[in-house]
Amino acid sequence: MEKKEINISYHVFSSMDELDQQFQILMKKAEESLNNAYAIYSGFYVGAALLLDNGEIVVGNNQENIAFPSSMCAERVALYYCKANFPNVKVKKVAIVAKSSQEVLKDLITPCGACRQVMSEYERLQGENMQVILKAEKGDILMFESVTNLLPLAFQSSALNRI
C-alpha cells in the first residue's frame, strides 16, 4: 500500500482593501446580488459574481423553492447564465459571498459539492483556471487560484467525452 496526500493552497486576506481592484468590484457585485436572493425558507443568502475575459460581470444568487430539490445555488445560477449568454467567453474570476438572516456569519461558506463540480467542469472546458474568492460577513477572505483547490478529485473522465 502506498499512502499519498492531496494538498491545497489558498491566499488569506484580512480585509477587502487587500484585494486587487477587480476582486473588490466583483465582491461588491456579489454582495449586491445576494440582496436579491430568494431565500425565504432558509434565510441563507448567497451571491456570486463572475468576471469574464471580455470584461463583462455576470451575477447570480440562490433561488429557493418550497420543493427544496428545485432550488438552485448562486454559483450555478451565474455559471449557467454565463454559458447560455456568453458560450465562448472564459470566466476569469469568481466571487462568492454569503449572509444569514439568523446570525452574523463569521465562518467562511464554501460552494457546495454540486457547485464545485460545475465550476470544475467549466474550468476544464475553458482550459484556464478560474480564481475563486470567498467571503463571509466577518472574518478572513480566501482566494483560490483554481477550482482544483476546492475540488481536487473532481469527477471527470475522457471516456465520457463524445465531442
What letter does residue 158 receive in the DSSP assignment? G
In the chain, the amino acid numbered 102 is Q
Choosing from 31, 64, 75, 123, the catalytic residue is 75
| Alpha-helix residue ranges (DSSP H) falling in 9-159 | 21-34, 74-85, 113-126
- Catalytic residue at 75? yes
Which residues are annotated as catalytic?
75
